[in-house]
Amino acid sequence: MCVAEQAVGRQSIQFQNPVSIISGASIVGKKEGEGPLGEAFDMVGEDPMFGTNSWEEAESTLQKETAGLAIAKAGLQKWQIRMIYAGDLLAQSVASSFGIADYQIPVYGLYGACSTMGEALSLGAMAVAGGYAQYVLSITSSHFGSAEKEFRFPLSYGNQRPLSATWTVTGSGACVLGRSGGQAQIAGLTTGKIVDYGLKDSMNMGACMAPAACDTIYQNFMDFNRLPEDYDQIVTGDLGKIGQNILWDLLLEKGYDIRKCHTDCGLEIYDGEKQDTHAGGSGCGCAASVFVSYVLPKIRSGEWKRVLFVPTGALLSKVTFNEGKSVPGIAHGVIVEQKEEGGQS
């Protein structure tokens, strides 16, 4: 019998054998390619339709190409990937279903709004560390056109956006996880709870998600008995400017100052002033593509030795918004570390 206890604290997991991040791939749209991380993405698509006839198919193509690239960069064939953990923002997660069907790999469909990359990395790492798979793929995507249609208005309506709104990233990020290889590893997780402060403004999702990010980060500190300075960086998903400030305030109230070691994927991906993206970037593809193109390289190079990656999600739908419901948030924490030479941390 061999069941190692890997649960720590109230809602965290510490892997006895950390899980390797073997490869990462990211493909984004034109606007993202023009942002500060432009050079760091694997590919930038000049055509927002990615050669298809609908926003939905465009997003599926984005996800399909990114998956293929991540598998190739890991030096693997698609049949070697045991399971895919995939999700997106569309109703019934159709971008993923249609995007990865052709690979004929067993798949678990996920929904955690923009926190889904955290969920995909978490469940994928649990599968590898549990002995259920040698290699898995974790992937998410979003597309500005499909998301505006899904949650707001058709693009041609030309509606105005308040300054608190975020800009949905056209992009996809994917990682191949496995038992060995690569220079980064997932050492632990803090699974998020649904946190609802009763906010109802879907044009200010940073404010809706900040309490969930605070909850997960605080719980991570408790469960692992850590302080902010134990992380070289805490990287949230897509809180944007307003959400970041709220997160800082909420954690200060609890006695933790993360201001010196915090950034947000939604703030890194665009030059907000030049690109008119208002509060920042958002979407399943935001945290995923920034993780792959910005966070992973800094871990591999040793600039950051340990990062707490916390993708954040706003759990709303058109229907709940129209029915006047609040926008609860969720955030999943993933501890990513540089691998030490020649062995396990």
How many residues touch a copy of itself (CB under 8 A)?
66
- Residues 10-49 vs a copy of itself: string with x where CB under 8 A? -x-x--xx--------------------------------
Interface mask (CB under 8 A) for a copy of itself, residues 125-164, using x and -?
-xx-xxxxxx--------------xx--------------
Which residue in 20, 23, 66, 93 binds a copy of itself (CB under 8 A)?
Answer: 93
Kindly tell me which of 272 and 329 has the beta carbon lying closer to a copy of itself: 329
* Residue 89 near a copy of itself by CB under 8 A: yes
Whether 32 contacts 21, CB under 8 Å: no
C-alpha dist (Å) from residue 102 to 97, 135, 173: 9, 18, 18
54 binds a copy of itself (CB under 8 A): yes
Q: C-beta of 124: minimal distance to a copy of itself in Å? A: 11
| Per-residue tokens: 335 | 């501890």
Q: What is the 3-state secondary structure (H, E, C) of 14-71?
A: EEEEEEEEEEEEEEECHHHHCCCCHHHCCEECCCCCCCCCCHHHHHHHHHHHHHHHHH
Each residue 297-326 as x (binds a copy of itself by CB under 8 A) or -, in order, gives ------------------xxxxxx--x-x-
Q: Give the nearer residue to a copy of itself in terms of CB position, either 38 or 109.
A: 109
SS3 122: helix
Q: How far is 88 from 59, CA to CA, in rounded Å?
A: 9
Q: Nearest 5 degrees, angle CA 291-CA 243-CA 337? A: 30
Choose, by CB under 8 A, the member of 44, 105, 137, 247 that binds a copy of itself: 105
Q: Which stretch binds a copy of itself (CB under 8 A): 34-42, 63-71, 116-124, 282-290?
A: 116-124
Binding test (CB under 8 A) with a copy of itself, winner from 117, 184, 251, 330 = 330
* Residues 248-275: b if buried by 16+ CB within 10 A, e if exposed: bebbeeeebebeebbbbbbbbbbebeeb
Please check whether residue 190 is in contact with residue 306, taking contact to mean a CB–CB distance below 8 angstroms: no
Residues ≥6 apart with Cβ < 8 Å to 28: 41, 43, 44, 45, 169, 170, 171, 172, 285, 289
Q: Which of residues 41, 50, 111, 304 is near a copy of itself by CB under 8 A?
A: 111
**Least distance between a copy of itself and beta carbon 265 (Å):** 20
Q: Quickly count: other Cβ atoms within 10 Å of residue 229's Cβ.
A: 10
In the bound complex, what is the minimum distance in angstroms from residue 176's beta carbon to a copy of itself? 16
Q: Tell me the C-alpha distance between 162 and 204, whole Å.
A: 8
Binding segment (CB under 8 A) for a copy of itself, from list 70-78, 118-126, 226-234, 254-262? 118-126
Closer to a copy of itself by Cβ: residue 120 or 242:
120
**Do the beta carbons of residue 35 and residue 142 sit within 8 Å?**
no
The first and second tokens of residue 214, run together, are 């605070």
Under rule CB under 8 A, residue 87 binds a copy of itself: yes
| CA gap 183, 21 in Å, rounded | 7
What does the binding site for a copy of itself look like in residue numbers (CB under 8 A)? 1-7, 11, 13, 16-17, 54, 56-57, 82-83, 87, 89-94, 97-98, 100-101, 104-113, 119, 122-123, 126-127, 129-134, 149-150, 179, 191-194, 196, 315-320, 323, 325, 328, 330
